[in-house]
Amino acid sequence: MKNIKIRSKLLIVFLLIGILSVTPIILISMTTFLESTKDQAYNFGDKSAYYNAQIIQNWLDDKANLLKNIRQQLENNEKLDKSEIEEILYNHSETNNDFISIFLGTEDNLMIDAYGWTPDKNYIIKERPWYQKAMDSNNTVVTSVYKDYNLGTYVTAIALPIKVGQRNGVLAANIQVDYIVNKIDEIYFGSSGFAVLLDENNLLITGPNDINNNKIFSNLYDRFLEEDILFSKDIDKEVEIENDKYFTVYSNIEKYGWNLFLIAPVDDFLKENYRMENLLYTIALLTLFILILLGIMFSRTISKPIEKLIEQVSFIAKGDLDHKVEIVTKDEIGQLSKEIEKMRNNLKKIFDNVKYESKILSLNTKLLSEHLDETYRGTYRFMSMLSHDIKTPITLIKGYVQGLKMGVLDERKEDEYLDKILYRSNQLEMITSDILDCTYEMNNIKLNKKIVDLRDYVNMVCFNSENHIVNTNREFKKNIKISDYGCYVEIDIIKTQRVLNNIISNAVKFSEKSSRIELIIEQDKNKIITIIKDEGIGLKNVDKNKTFNMFYKSEGEEKGYGLGLYISKAIIEAHNGEIFLSHNKDKGANCGFVLNCHKKS
């Protein structure tokens, strides 16, 4: 019964997951795709209506501009007679195929036509629509569609007022409606959509030839007129007529008062949507079918987790904590396996932490031992050298005193011995003083800072360095790279000189006589960098990580106590600066320090 329940539960879960996930996805996808399709249709219709309205307007503008050029030509030549005017109109009419004819009508009923047409006596120019509209507006106009008196066909006319000599009149050109019909027929909106063009009086200029389409537009026109939205963007919407839905868009040819309408059945744009809908239904059915198959497969293997759980727990019992307990089920067995896996992970973490801590403890013990050993050896070297440096003067002093006590020396020799005793005593005093100073500075560095002008600092460093280096039979070179002397440094002058002397002493110690030692002082924004560059042995035998440690001495170094760079580092860091040591590419080493400089206020 248990297995049946779990199997049923799995099948129900899979079915619910399938239904709950697929159904919303299908509904959302269909709705989204439908709305997107409609938005695309509206956008396409708006752009198409606007674009074609602009084409028509630009075409009318071109014809209007041509008439304006003819008017200017006629008005600039007031002495032209009728035949000359007729010739000008003829030439322009022949060169523009869009015009049926260009003609001039005056207020005294004089008609001058490009092709010489003369109306009968019943023809009254002032009553013609093109004459009346142009004279009323006193501007370039396009008339409604009317029947041409001469040709007997329906035309529209572009007209504008003109004054030739002392006569007022209207210059006009007839355009066959068929040309505009061709323009409208080229407009594409859906597979069975159509376009309608109305003039400013809402009279039809051109529209569909199909009776049904004319009926559809008539119904739309009446509805929009009733809702008072005929010539507004509110008509860009979906409209239902006799159970069929249509998209309608509108664009105004504002300059001439014409209005372009595009109408298309909604179904023209939803064919892809219907195909997508069928595809989504197919995917949904396939998804549900796959989920049912998966549920059956999992339910058949429900008994295997128990055997797997026993096998994996046996590894833990044997002390093997690297095998995962992983039973993926949504029942009590799965929950039990998760808890056992947590226990295994916790035990593994405990053992791993114990191993890790043991390694860390062993490593720290080793490092501590090495550090103590190094400190012992450094202290031993320091005491040995100190004992040697103190013992030698004391031994010599004892020898000189014994010689004096014996009384066998003449007065000149006695004075010489006394001078030597005094020299060795001074030597002992200097050694003792150095040791005391080093001990004091290592534990309690107090700075007596003074503000030093940058130029004075450079001069001080150059003077001291040159004296020190030249007196040790080395060649001195200086390289000063200061861009702005309007700064100062705040330093303890004595301690800073001590650092510089320590660095120069090291450069002298590890370089040959007559070799060059270079002093470099650079300025980098708000930093002053002082560098001593030598041509000695470099850092071949130096451990860079221990260079500034107490009592550290490089291999083969005999002189010194290993305190100079340690104390120098402490002094520079007390100034909030940095000390550094690096190897030259060619030979020798660079040692120096960085101090902060401040702009003078």
Answer whether residue 133 shows pLDDT above 50: yes
- pLDDT at residue 10 is higher than 70: no
pLDDT at 32: 75
Q: Identity (one letter) of the amino acid at 43? A: N
- In sequence order, what are the beta bridge partners of 104? 112, 171
Measure the N-to-C terminal CA separation of the chain; round to a whole number of Å: 93
The helix or strand, by DSSP H or E, that contains position 564, with its residue range, turns out to be helix 564-574
Among 526, 521, 446, 441, residue whose Cα is nearest residue 489: 526
Residue 281 has pLDDT above 50, yes or no: yes
**Alpha-carbon gap, residue 79 to 373, rounded angstroms:** 125
pLDDT of residue 409: 67
Question: Model confidence over 550-577: pLDDT tens digits?
Answer: 666 655 555 555 677 888 888 888 889 9
Q: What is the pLDDT of residues 405-452, one digit of tens each?
A: 777 667 777 777 777 777 677 667 666 766 665 655 555 677 888 999
Rounded to an integer, the average pLDDT of 92-110 is 87
Least Cα distance to 246 among 414, 93, 534, 41 occurs for 41
Pair 63, 158: CB distance under 8 Å: yes
Residue 309 CB coordination number (10 Å): 19
**pLDDT at 2 > cutoff 50:** no
Average pLDDT, the chain: 78
Question: Which residue's entry shows tokens 């051109």?
Answer: 206
Q: Provide the H-helix boundaries in 452-514.
A: 454-470, 493-509
Q: What is the pLDDT of residues 40-93, one digit of tens each?
A: 777 777 788 788 888 888 888 888 898 899 888 888 877 778 888 888 888 888
Quote the pLDDT of residue 223. 79
CATH fold match for the domains 77-176 and 445-599:
no
Single-letter amino acid code for the residue at 406: M
DSSP letter (8 states) at residue 80 = -
Domain map (residue ranges) of the chain = 2-60+188-271, 77-176, 311-381, 390-441, 445-599
Q: What is the assigned CATH class of domain 445-599?
A: alpha beta
Instruction: Give 302-356 pLDDT, tens digit per residue.
Output: 656 666 766 777 776 776 766 776 666 666 777 777 777 787 778 778 877 878 8
Q: What is the DSSP string of 28-59?
A: HHHHHHHHHHHHHHHHHHHHHHHHHHHHHHHH
Question: pLDDT grade, residue 3 (50/70/90)?
Answer: very low
Which residue would you say has higher pLDDT here, 255 or 462? 462
Determine contact, residues 428/386, Cβ cutoff 8 Å.
no
Position 455 confidence tier, pLDDT thresholds 50, 70, 90: very high
- Confidence category of residue 593, pLDDT binned at 50, 70, 90: very high
> 2-60+188-271: which CATH architecture?
2-Layer Sandwich (3.30)
Instruction: Kindly state which CATH superfamily the domain 77-176 is placed in.
Output: PAS domain (3.30.450.20)
